[in-house]
Amino acid sequence: MAEEKQLTVDEFLKAIIDLDGRFELVRGVAYAFAGATEGHNVIWSNVLTVLVPSGKRKGCRTTSSAAVQTGPDTVRHSDVVVDCGPPNAMALTASWPTIVVEVSSSGTAVFDYDAKLREYQGVESINTVLEIESEIARVKVHRRQESGTWTDETVEEFGIAIPLTTLATSITLNEIYDTLEVKPRPRLQVVQNNPSKSM
């Protein structure tokens, strides 16, 4: 079996600059993603609608499908990235990403999200990672604390504000899933038999 060609970050970024679609470089190997569903696209569009104005007020730029370098030979393309670094129209990667949003879908399920999360957590500037489910109403929020440790929170209820302190704003599931019909995660119900009624 032929070995996969190893690419540097510069080689990868130059190779994909004129290509349609979404690609990532993982330990020197380039991968292409399958096309996203309408729900996936609507969610990141909804998130952009909420975060763009707040980002501007803080001097940050909020973009979709932005490249984030998470290692010497790894580049991830996140669904939404808030970049608070110096403006550079020619930049191919976010210079100071602070908030990263990943929207899950069947096309990305084959990738190890836990590994990707650890990479994001290893980037000094990133303080918040949102993992949004596209088929059920569920958001996992990962936040960096002042001590450098990370906390996790799962939000499954509509109407609850998810604080995004970097932008002095918040977002709710109502805004994230606006115009979509998503259901809560199924709950296990325990049915208890009454022995006295069965006699």
Whether 124 shows a pLDDT value over 60: the answer reads yes
Query: pTM of the predicted model, to two decimals?
Result: 0.86
Query: What's the token pair of residue 167?
Result: 């932008």
Domain range summary for the chain, segments of one domain joined by +: 37-182
**Element spanning 108, H or E:** none
Q: Model confidence over 20-53: pLDDT tens digits?
A: 888 899 999 998 887 678 889 999 999 999 999 9
- CATH number corresponding to 37-182: 3.90.1570.10
DSSP 8-state class, residue 93: S
Strands 162-164, 169-171: pairing kind: antiparallel
State the pLDDT confidence band at 188, using cuts at 50, 70 and 90. Answer: low
pLDDT tens column, 100-121 = 999 986 545 444 678 899 999 9
